[in-house]
């Protein structure tokens, strides 16, 4: 069984619950990748490794078209969303669409679970029509976020977390190797925004499927290690990511 499927068969429902409870928490990273995608009015695009369709929902909240298909390799992950959207159960590296079928394709925060990230990028470009864009985004290697995931989350989840994180220029390299057009890439510190620290603990416990061994106090201390901070109106968690995009030529 593939790593991505193993993880999200086990905890996909909790991941979806986190995004449903706090739909605005990760809106900043969604805005960045959607900006890279440059969706046109009525575009028929694909959200790949979509889980519960979070990115598609965020697109609609911005007045952009929802994804034509939310594609994910884990059937339980797809089913737990329960919103009747157009979903496709498929590995990201072998999408069941003809060449050039989509007017854009995105993959957010899933590349680090792929056994073949370059192949995944090739597949995104294959199913995208010429002149339309592919966009990917993930946590930066060596960042506090990567250490949190492969450290704290790994120790406190049944399935562990062994993410393969890449340096800032690697995503652009995958797209160039896949013969995309000129690549645009950037490193960004996005902020996850929750109403309070208590809500941030609930969000992380669900999103990562943390076990009871991760006490509220332990989660709070781990968030402090990430540089999380309280402001007058919210609690914010910095998350260092890189994004890259290219148009299919």
Domain carrying residue 132: 3-248
Reading the chain (249 residues) residue by residue, the pLDDT tens digits are 478 998 999 999 999 999 999 999 999 999 999 999 999 999 999 999 999 899 999 999 999 999 999 999 999 999 888 666 789 999 999 999 999 999 999 999 999 999 999 999 999 999 999 999 999 999 999 999 999 999 999 999 998 999 999 998 999 999 998 877 899 999 999 999 999 999 999 999 999 999 999 999 999 999 999 999 999 999 999 999 999 999 998
Domain containing 113 — which CATH number? 3.40.50.150
SS3 37: helix
Q: How far apart are CA 122 and CA 96, in angstroms?
A: 14
* pLDDT for res 178: 85
Token pair in block for residue 163: 């993410």
Q: How far is CA 140 from CA 61, 112, 170, 243, in A?
A: 27, 10, 10, 9
- pTM to 2 decimals? 0.95
Alpha helices in 85-234 (DSSP H): 117-126, 144-148, 154-155, 170-177, 197-207, 216-226
Strands 133-139 and 235-248: antiparallel
| Number of domain units in the chain | 1
Please name the residues in contact with 70: beta carbons below 8 A apart, sequence gap of 6 or more.
47, 50, 51, 52, 53, 56, 78, 85, 86, 87, 88
């Amino acid at each position: 069984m593939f790593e991505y499927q193993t993880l999200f068969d086990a905890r996909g429902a909790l991941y979806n619950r986190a995004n449903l409870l706090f739909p605005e928490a990760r809106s900043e990273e969604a805005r960045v990748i959607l900006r890279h995608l440059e969706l046109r009015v009525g575009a028929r695009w694909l959200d790949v490794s979509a889980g519960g369709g979070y990115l598609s929902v965020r697109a609609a909240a911005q007045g952009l078209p929802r994804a034509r298909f939310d594609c994910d390799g884990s059937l339980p992950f797809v089913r737990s969303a329960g919103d009747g959207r157009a979903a496709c159960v498929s590995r990201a590296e072998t999408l069941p669409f003809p060449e050039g079928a989509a007017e854009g394709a995105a993959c957010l925060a899933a590349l680090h679970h792929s056994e073949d990230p370059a192949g995944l990028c090739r597949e995104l470009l294959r199913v995208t029509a010429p002149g339309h864009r592919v966009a990917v985004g993930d946590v930066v290697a060596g960042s506090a976020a990567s250490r949190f995931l492969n450290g704290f989350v790994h120790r406190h989840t049944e399935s562990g977390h062994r993410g393969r994180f890449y340096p800032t220029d690697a995503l652009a390299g995958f797209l160039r190797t896949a013969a995309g057009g000129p690549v645009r890439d950037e490193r960004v510190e996005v902020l996850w925004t929750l109403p309070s620290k208590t809500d941030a603990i609930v969000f992380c416990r669900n999103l990562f499927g943390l076990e009871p061994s991760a006490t509220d106090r332990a989660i709070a201390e781990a968030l402090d290690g990430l540089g999380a901070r309280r402001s007058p109106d919210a609690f914010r968690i910095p998350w260092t990511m890189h994004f890259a995009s290219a148009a299919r030529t």
